[in-house]
Structure 1
Amino acid sequence: MCFDRTFAPGRVVEFARRLEAGGADQLWIIEDCFYTAGVSLTATALAVTERLKVGIGILPAVARNPAITAMEIATLCGLAPGRVLPGIGHGVQSWMRQMGVRPASPLTALEEVLTAVNRLLAGEEVTVDGRYVKLDRVKLDQPPADPPPLLAGVQGPKSLALAGRAAGGIVLAEPTSPSYVRAALAQAAAPDDFQVTVFSFLGIAEDRRTAYRRMAPWLATKITEQTPGLTVLPFFGELVELFAKDGVDGLVGMPPEWWMELGPVGTHEDALTHIAALEEAGVHSIGLFPPPDVDVASAALEDVLRIANR
């Protein structure tokens, strides 16, 4: 399950404990500027659990010095060996501009950061004079004994190709269809041990129509944004035409097969079908996004646990 950026920090204890007790494998912490911070929430979730893996989605590459990023990840690994899933991405460029750290080349910046952090976590002494990363004989005192793969939170073709050569896996933002996963893996030219995590917006109801009506406004926003997870769909052109003609009501009435490709939306059985298709496409981890209201999300946690224990 994903812990939304707007949730009060103290609720992470409840979510982590309930997920672990209920048999779920992972909790994903969402870090976006300028909401709650990923590292501190991850440390808290790890401290109150014994088995649960906790992912960070996603640390902006240039918001922290890569030496500090490596220190934070190594410290988390020392607190909970084998339970940390760190993600690093470009960060939203408007937010990077607000902080005065927006790079002229986000691709170069991300590749330099991923490379440096990987080397530091591997225990190397790193000296580098890059365009964005400059380190002079930096070496971690306590690198992790078994460094976790760094996951690149990226979307576009060039960024996915970068992830394939510089990261240990990817995190794909919602909506994530099996079609999108296959396209992303092809663009990354991923090696066999490449780890794939996806985020999916969870929309389960007793009947499909209710679920579709709840999710249609969200889908309308994604269509307007032309997100990569949609543009690769074989029916994307028809989807755009339907939305242009009939608006949100048209999305509610679109074929169930389209909804099932887009996400775990519909009945519980529909959600299971979607997740099985993601796994068949090569996905290793799935972070389910609940509704943004924390109390509604707390109730939806039971749906997550039903899926986790399928």
Structure 2
Amino acid sequence: MTNRLQVGMSFDRSFPPAFVTEAARALEAGGAQQLWVIEDCFFTAGPSLAAAALTVTEQLTVGVGILPAVARTAPVTAMEIATLCGLGPGRVLPGVGHGVQAWMAQMGVRPLSPLTALEEVMVAVTRLLAGDEVTSHGHYVDLDAVRLEQPPADPPPLLAGVYGPKSLALAGRVAGGVVLAEPASPSYVRRALEQAGRAPGDPDFHVAVFGVVCVRKDRTEAYRTMAPWLADQLSRPRATVKALPFYDDLAARHADKGVDGLVTMPAEWWTELAPVGTLDDAAAHLQALEDTGVRSIGMFPRPDVEVARTQLAEVIELARR
């Protein structure tokens, strides 16, 4: 099935660059389909990590989540993506987003209108990757007859890494899909697609999501491991968490019982939230995502290289189910 969920690991921003080739090789050898690299300021660069992963693999798809729209000019972003496509034809999933605005301000590139900037960049990069000659005199993209010398033969969908309703509506108009931040539950995916004006399973709209993974033989042990992470999510809830159908009860439970209350919350809440629990629990979460039209998932291991090495096996086992 061409629309079957493609399963992979996300490369935490804190990991040393050299670990990316080890992870990529292990994922491909084990039968996982994807590796997602992260570009957050001021850690490691997404295209560099992606290039390294592509050159040591033959089948692994490498996603880039995400390139801030204004950190590079639109032609340079297009050149980066086209170069990756040349290294691994058909194996690149590039994401572009607003970037964290405080970081953009630190670099002196914060736009007055992030929405306008993202739309202009998405449109220009999409056209450049298609091989078009682009002239554009917008607020943030000003090009005079620019054309890539080596556009990809088969351009990948350009995904929008966004989560606000206005940004999702923009993605539905101009992007080839979306990258949804963790924890991307099936509930949140359905809401995001509704806001994007796209139907679940739209073959022209690639939905990729991030999640956190923790698999144990004893699901309570997995819940105990991940409860502090969930408590942190609840301390500054974003749309991804507020979309949970049980969010109000979850927040009240945390306020009343703290982290211990999260450990003992209903198992079905955890299964909705993330691939956490037993292997069967995690697989059920992935199946629910696939049923909503998700085509790619990058699962974050714990942000510790030694722990992540052991969790590669969890990702691989889920990918092979």
Q: TM-score, normalised by structure 1?
A: 0.99
Partners of 2:305 and 2:179 in 1: how far apart?
23
- How far apart are 1:190 and its partner, in Å? 1.8
Which of 43, 47, 52 matches 1:35? Answer: 43
Which of 215, 228, 232 matches 1:217? Answer: 228
Partners of 1:304 and 1:235 in 2: how far apart?
27
The 5 A counterparts of 1:66-215 are 66-190=74-198, 192=202, 193-215=204-226
Partners of 2:45 and 2:79 in 1: how far apart?
16
Identity among equivalent pairs (%): 66
- How far apart are 1:80 and its partner, in Å? 1.3
Question: How many matched pairs?
Answer: 310
What secondary structure does 2:156 align onto?
A: coil
What secondary structure does 1:36 align onto?
A: coil
Which of 306, 310, 316 matches 1:295? Answer: 306
Q: Does 1:247 align with 2:258?
A: yes
Which amino acid is the alignment partner of residue 106 of structure 1? P
Which amino acid is the alignment partner of residue 49 of structure 1? T
Partners of 2:276 and 2:217 in 1: how far apart?
11
Partners of 1:103 and 1:171 in 2: how far apart?
21
Q: TM-score, normalised by structure 2?
A: 0.95
Partners of 1:154 and 1:148 in 2: how far apart?
18
Aligned to 1:65: 73
- How far apart are 1:186 and its partner, in Å? 0.6
Aligned to 1:261: 272
What secondary structure does 1:199 align onto?
A: strand
Runs of 4+ residues deviating >2 angstroms: none
Partners of 2:214 and 2:311 in 1: how far apart?
9
What secondary structure does 2:245 align onto?
A: coil
Which amino acid is the alignment partner of residue 250 of structure 2? L
In structure 1, stretches of 5+ residues that fail to align are: none
In structure 2, stretches of 5+ residues that fail to align are: 1-8
What secondary structure does 1:137 align onto?
A: strand
Q: Does 1:275 align with 2:283?
A: no
What secondary structure does 1:229 align onto?
A: helix
What secondary structure does 1:54 align onto?
A: strand
Partners of 1:33 and 1:273 in 2: how far apart?
34
Partners of 2:95 and 2:65 in 1: how far apart?
5
RMSD over equivalenced CA pairs, Å: 0.8
- How far apart are 1:234 and its partner, in Å? 1.2
Aligned to 2:21: 13
Q: Does 1:44 align with 2:52?
A: yes
Which amino acid is the alignment partner of residue 92 of structure 2? V
Partners of 2:198 and 2:94 in 1: how far apart?
18
Partners of 1:123 and 1:103 in 2: how far apart?
27
What secondary structure does 1:102 align onto?
A: coil
Partners of 2:95 and 2:111 in 1: how far apart?
19
Partners of 1:19 and 1:239 in 2: how far apart?
34
Higher RCO (Cα < 8 Å, 6 or more apart): 2
Q: Does 1:233 align with 2:244?
A: yes
Which of 285, 292, 296 matches 1:285? Answer: 296
What secondary structure does 1:111 align onto?
A: helix
- How far apart are 1:226 and its partner, in Å? 1.2
Which amino acid is the alignment partner of residue 190 of structure 2? R
- How far apart are 1:227 and its partner, in Å? 1.4
What secondary structure does 1:50 align onto?
A: coil
